[in-house]
Amino acid sequence: MTGWPSPATFSLDGGPVSITRRGIDVREIEVRILNRQEGLPLIAGMVSRFGAENGLAPRILHDVNVVLDEALSNIIAYGYETDVQSEITIRLEYSQDEMVVVIEDRGRPFDPLQAPPPDLNGSVRTRKVGGLGVHFLRSLMDDVAYSRRDGVNRLRMTKKITS
């Protein structure tokens, strides 16, 4: 496998980013970004590259990219005070039958599974803003679990891989 730095740290406009590859066959990769929107394009690229190197179907990668973008955008927008810089860890794990996405952050506690489902029946103009990101987590992933321990939020999402 070529091309992945292991481990490496480099800078993005939003701050330092580090990538760690575990396992010879790239079945797990971990990235750390600062809680800034500028890090999100790196994550989308990482998912695409990880998926290509592991032969994952485009629909799996699409779903994972959607939920990561939604979850990370919400963590960055609502999880921290405006001037607080903190690291967010994103880990992708792949086995023959599932892909697991784990996000860990030290932002405010927030269990997305406790959020009420959005009303998808009304007009866009009359619907309450918010909730679609959580809806995507629930509908695009096969399993979602949240925990908080020692000041760290941990969101674990699983996508089943079928032939």
pLDDT tens per residue across span 130-149: 556 677 788 899 999 999 99
Bigger pLDDT: 149 vs 126: 149
Q: Looking at residues 13-18, what average pLDDT do you find?
A: 50
Q: For residue 3, is it within any domain?
A: no
**Does 2 reside within a domain?**
no
Q: Is there a domain that residue 1 lies in?
A: no
110 or 120: which carries more pLDDT confidence?
110
- Burial call 115-148: b when 16+ CB within 10 Å, e when fewer: eeebeeeeeeeeeeeebebbbbbeebbeebebee
Residue 11's pLDDT band (boundaries 50, 70, 90)? very low
Average pLDDT for 101-116: 90
Banded pLDDT at 41 (limits 50, 70, 90): confident
Task: Give which of 134, 88, 90 is closest to 111, Cα–Cα.
Answer: 134
Residue-range definition of the domain harbouring residue 104? 8-160
Q: What is the CATH number of the domain that holds 144?
A: 3.30.565.10
Does residue 47 fall inside a structural domain? Answer: yes
Claim: this prediction has a pTM higher than 0.85:
no
Q: How many residues does the chain have?
A: 163
Residue 134 falls within a domain, yes or no? Answer: yes
pLDDT higher than threshold 70 for residue 6: no
Whether residue 22 lies inside any domain: the answer is yes
Query: What is the count of structural domains for the chain?
Result: 1
pLDDT at 81: 87
Higher pLDDT, 38 or 130: 38
Tell me if 34 is assigned to some domain: yes
